[in-house]
Structure 1
Amino acid sequence: MSEDIAPEVPPRLDRRQTGPVTLRRGRVPSTTTDQRLLDKRQPSDWLHTDPWRVMRIQSEFIEGFGALAELGPAVAVFGSARTRPDDPAYALGIEIGRLLAEAGYAVITGGGPGAMEAANKGAYEAKGTSVGLGIELPFETGINDYVDLAINFRYFFARKTMFLKYSQGFIVLPGGFGTLDELFEAVTLAQTQKVTQFPVVLMGTAYWQGLVDWLRERVLADGMISPGDIERLTLTDDPHVAVRTIIEHEGPSS
């Protein structure tokens, strides 16, 4: 054999390129993607794999963007699902929803019971747009009856994107971990300038004052945040002040 003629190299059976992904040795599947697609006897496990979840995630963003793109100016109202109708916070939520609707804002909540239901009820009774962004949970109770436009999500991060993308600000009623999660995500995104001109109003001084004091006296004093980060939070008991705070930052479009 001539030295300038390379011998034929057999195909590498221990390596496969699937798009940008390289598989080697034990990672190489025994069948090809086409075979698995066309094989009617294939198992249903693929429905639960991460690549397929990407498609579900994509569909949630598409559905959310499509449903909310023409919503207009809106404000997200957060609060506990455990708030009872006889709780003063429930009445406060109704008033917040009513005032926002009268100011020309759609009201977006998590769509559940409690404080969320109250805000949706206020918007509904004021003939405004009442939106609920639900989430799949083991103990979910479904979308409350005062929601006109409802979207249910599997993934928290897709749902959170909708709250932030389509809201001019947050009004936060007393709540637990879920409410705190939304609150701190909002102020973090404002702090890091991922969102700008984004007011956050805490409704209920008796409930929130201790948290604000701790942030100022401990977190700020230790240099973990800046003075401007505290100033992003408006603390009030007056629903008119809450709505006016939103309007002063960015009023509804004409």
Structure 2
Amino acid sequence: MAILQPHGHGHDNEIETLDAFDRAAAGGSLVGRRVQSLDLTDRTAALLAADATAAVFLGCRMAPDAAAKVRADGALVFPPVPGVPFDPYRGLLYTPGELFDGLDRDGYAATPDARTYAWFQRTMRDGDVFASMLRAVHDDAISDALDERLASVPVVGVMGGHAMARGTDAYAGAARLGRSLARAGLTVATGGGPGAMEAANLGAYAAPHPDGMLDEALLLLGKEPSYAPSIGDWARAAFDVRDRWPEGGDSIGIPTWFYGHEPPNAFAGHIAKYFANATREDGLLARCTAGVVYLPGAAGTVQEIFDNATPNYYESRGEPTPMVLVNRTHWTEHLPAWPLLRALAEGRPMAARIALVDTVEEAARELLRLSGL
């Protein structure tokens, strides 16, 4: 079918902003283009004038005559989905401001993040096939947006437990690690939640600022050490830091509504939030092209170590991604993942790309050495 044959290839064929739409429509052709989640109600004249053969409109708002015309051209039109608190066809990653919209006005429960989590819990229980389809479409759109954002960018993952509290030495260390990696030219990616994840995203945010900014920010955040009992107070403290020191460095957070009781942190510049945790976990690790640093954590972090170890174990071209574990006591005695990882690596190319260190300063240096940066 002609509708399945795009006029271009991959992401080059997608239109995700009004500026991009205007540029394409000015040439008179939308042939084969994929237009994602745009309000085109003010672009009726352009839609009536442009050839939309084999185009696909995903969740775009259009005037009735414009929608009829592009359908007559042979375009597929997937209308916006009413009654859900998220856009399944979105073309871009989330921002912290978008997920926490309305926090100061109506409280956390009224934010898009909280409302989407409530929708997810409800639809998971009732088993509605339409809801499961919307979740799958959303997650695929997020993966597409994440691929676009990280194309040709060296990405380093920082993994660690969600329970790491603000105001602790461990949290400060994770923040310094994120800052060091960002200043080395890497894009920091985390699981996007609280604890060690927030700390690493905070460090990346602090990277363009003088060193003293991070010290001050840590003191301010320490007044709200955890998202329990109040997610709202915890999030407001982060936005206060962002307001005081705007124009921070970018980083990526990749959280999930599967663990929606853990809110996303506000320091990741771009957030790829998923419904399916398995998709989120695999996608996060697969995109860490410059390696992963593992801070002390519990079951989730152990799972991430061996999710990463499996493709490294089977990598036959000598290009496994670096893995650096931080805190010798934690990973050899408390949760002895390191001996098993080392045993798996013996005699394989990955053996030269794993390391166990004691401090975050050593971790940054070792990661950069192993990745050749």
Q: TM-score, normalization: structure 1? A: 0.69
**1:147 equivalenced with 2:230 (yes/no):** no
Contact 1:120 1:146 in 2 (8 A): yes
| Alignment partners' CA distance in 1, 2:360 and 2:259 | 33
Of 311, 320, 333, 1:197 maps to: 320
1:209 aligns with 2:292: no
Say which structure is richer in strand: 1
Alignment of 1:17-96 (within 5 A): 45-48=128-131, 55-69=137-151, 72-96=153-177
User: Could you tell me how far apart the structure 1 residues matched to 2:316 and 2:167 are?
Assistant: 38
| Correspondence for 1:113 | 194
Q: Which residue of 2 aligns with 1:29?
A: none
Q: Bigger CA drift: 235-244 or 149-158?
A: 235-244
List per-residue Cα deviations over 1:88-136 (Å, max 9, x = no partner).
3212201110110111111111111111111111111113322101111
TM-superposed CA distance for 1:160, in Å, is: 2.6
State the distance in 2 between where 1:125 and 1:225 align.
35
| Superposed displacement of residue 230, structure 1 | 5.8
Q: 2:300 and 2:130 mapped to 1: Cα distance?
A: 29
Q: How many residues align?
A: 202
2:324 is paired with a residue whose SS is: strand
Rg larger for: 1
1 or 2 for the larger relative contact order (CA 8 Å, sep ≥6)?
1
Unaligned runs of 5+ in 2: 1-126, 209-248
Corresponding letter in the other structure for 2:201: N
Say what the alpha-carbon RMSD is for the aligned residues: 2.8
For 1:144 and 1:56, locate their aligned partners in 2 and report how far apart those are by CA, in whole Å: 20
Task: State the identity %.
Answer: 30
1:146 Cα deviation from its structure 2 partner: 1.2
8 Å contact kept, 2:258–2:277: no
Q: How many Å apart are 1:158 and its aligned residue?
A: 2.4
Structure 2 residue aligned with 1:226: 346
2:159, 2:301 within 8 Å by CA — same for their partners in 1? yes
| 103-112 or 195-204: bigger deviation | 195-204
> Per the alignment, do residues 131 and 58 of structure 1 end up closer, same or farther by CA in structure 2, a change over 3 Å counting?
closer
Residue 323 of structure 2 corresponds to residue 242 of structure 1: no
CA-to-aligned-CA distance 1:8-27 (integer Å, 9 cap, x gap): xxxxxxxxxxxxxxxxxxxx
Distance across 1 between alignment mates of 2:338 and 2:301: 18
2: CA distance between counterparts of 1:101 and 1:225? 28
Counterpart among 159, 184, 209 of residue 280 in structure 2:
159
C-alpha distance in 2 between matches for 1:194 and 1:184: 17
Helix, strand or coil at the partner of 1:153: coil
Structure 1 or 2: more helix by fraction: 2
Q: Deviations over 1:181-203 (max 9, x none)?
A: 11111111100118933111111
> Corresponding residue for 1:177?
299
SS of the aligned residue for 2:273 comes to strand
Paired residue for 1:188? 310
Distance 1:180 1:213, change over 3 A: closer
The structure-2 alpha-carbon separation of the partners of 1:136 and 1:213, relative to structure 1 and needing over 3 Å to count, comes to closer
Asked if the contact 1:105–1:129 (Cα under 8 Å) also holds between the matched residues in 2, the reply is no
Displacement of 1:61: 2.6
Take 1:141 and 1:173, find their aligned partners in 2: how far apart are those partners?
A: 18
Q: Distance in 2 between matches of 1:213 and 1:125?
A: 31
Q: 1:199 to 1:93 in 2, by over 3 A?
A: same
Give the whole-Å Cα distance in 1 for the aligned partners of 2:140 and 2:267.
28
Deviates more, 1:96-105 or 1:155-164: 155-164
> Are residues 171 and 52 of structure 1, via their aligned partners in 2, closer, same or farther at CA, if it must alter by over 3 Å?
same
